[in-house]
Structure 1
Amino acid sequence: MSLRKVLVGGCAIGASLLSGHTFASDRTPTTRLVTAIEACRPIADVATRVGCYDKAVDAMSAATRKGDLIVLDREKVVERRRAQFGLPAQVDAGLGDAGEVQELSTTIRRSSYDQRTNRWTLWLADNTVWTTLEMLRFPPRDNAPLVLRKGVMGAFKGDFGRQVVQVKRLQ
């Protein structure tokens, strides 16, 4: 067995063990805090149940202040992801696919053509700026609808109604 195979195998095993450890430790504080709140529900005595909830909420508040627990509003997550649509991917730890944006419908406010590059620059109603990466058969019209879709491998497509071309966000 060559040294190269041993090193590659060892790195792969180490990476898998490390990543497994990271995911498990990321979920532990949240699970523990939520479990503490859920454990209060079946308590029959009202005063004891309220005391249990107070203790659990105090622990959750302390974890939030320390930064061990982050509470997110789904609407805010979706709003943020819509604003970042088309920009290089940002990793939102622990969010998974919550609020994942696959397409965005907007309107072209104005456009300009660059003869040197044969590309259109598009200023959109959501205050973003995009450029075409392919030739357009028909020039984009101001105030026309535009649907931006996620493509494969980080690419984006702009659907102008009569034609679909690859686009890239500039700002």
Structure 2
Amino acid sequence: MKRFGTTLLVVLFSIAATNAAAAPNQQQPRPEIFTDLLQCRTITDNSERLACFDRQVGAIDAAAQRDEVVVLDKSELAKTRKTLFGFSFPKLPFLGGDEVDDRGEAKVDGVDQIEAVIASVRSLGYGKWQIGLDDGAVWATTEALTARDPKVGQKIELKRAAMGSFMGKVEGGRAVRMKRVS
């Protein structure tokens, strides 16, 4: 079992309502299920403290089985951040949604570019392409690729650009504007 210190506990009770309304730089209150667990540490009697921990861990486990609580370690959180690259979403503190880059645009915990392998391609006509990545993300060019057509297995680099846009560069080609479609 991983130690609590190295595991991030993310509680998803009502994220949209709670986090969208929260003021910037204001620490979010901890969920009751988590604070109840922490309260067990204050009990001095060993048997009562153990009973409290058992009860609260059972409550967290039951909430996790009902998909009310999600536990992610740092590596899983980093993967989640990468898969969300290119989407707009409300500021979510556990994803680093309060951070901005040097242009003042929101970014997700330092993720301002990704590299991936092309898993699928589909011509949209007029030199534009829909490109599926190996992680399941789908992007589309918003301007024509003129040099050569993208191919499955090639690497693609996607970067955050000005005013919320993104630039994509298939290996050996020039960068073109792209948008995340799914």
TM-score (norm 1): 0.57
Tell me the secondary structure at the aligned position of residue 159 of structure 2.
strand
The one-letter code sitting in structure 1 at the alignment partner of 2:139 is W
Alignment map for 1:12-161 (pairs within 5 Å): 19=21, 27=29, 30=31, 32-41=32-41, 43-57=43-57, 60=60, 70-74=69-73, 76-86=76-86, 88-91=87-90, 93-97=92-96, 100=109, 101-109=111-119, 111=121, 117-142=126-151, 143-161=153-171
Change (3 A) 1:41 1:113: closer
Q: Find the counterpart in structure 2 of residue 168 from structure 1.
A: 179
Greater relative CO (CA pairs within 8 A, separation 6+): 2
Give the Cα separation in 1 of the matches to 2:64 and 2:120. 44
Q: Deviation at 1:167?
A: 0.8
The one-letter code sitting in structure 2 at the alignment partner of 1:97 is G
Give the Cα separation in 1 of the matches to 2:64 and 2:150. 49
Q: Deviation at 1:80?
A: 4.5
Q: Percent identity?
A: 23
Q: Deviation at 1:38?
A: 2.9
Change (3 A) 1:136 1:73: same
Change (3 A) 1:120 1:48: closer
8 A contact 1:43–1:49 mirrored in 2 = yes
Unaligned stretches of 5+ residues in structure 2: 1-20, 98-107
Q: Deviation at 1:105?
A: 1.7
8 A contact 1:158–1:164 mirrored in 2 = yes
Tell me the secondary structure at the aligned position of residue 177 of structure 2.
strand
Give the Cα separation in 2 of the matches to 1:106 and 1:55. 44
Tell me the secondary structure at the aligned position of residue 96 of structure 2.
coil
Matched residue count: 147
Unaligned stretches of 5+ residues in structure 1: 1-18
Give the Cα separation in 1 of the matches to 2:65 and 2:117. 41
Give the Cα separation in 2 of the matches to 1:169 and 1:120. 12
Give the Cα separation in 2 of the matches to 1:126 and 1:71. 21
8 A contact 2:81–2:95 mirrored in 1 = no
8 A contact 1:130–1:169 mirrored in 2 = yes
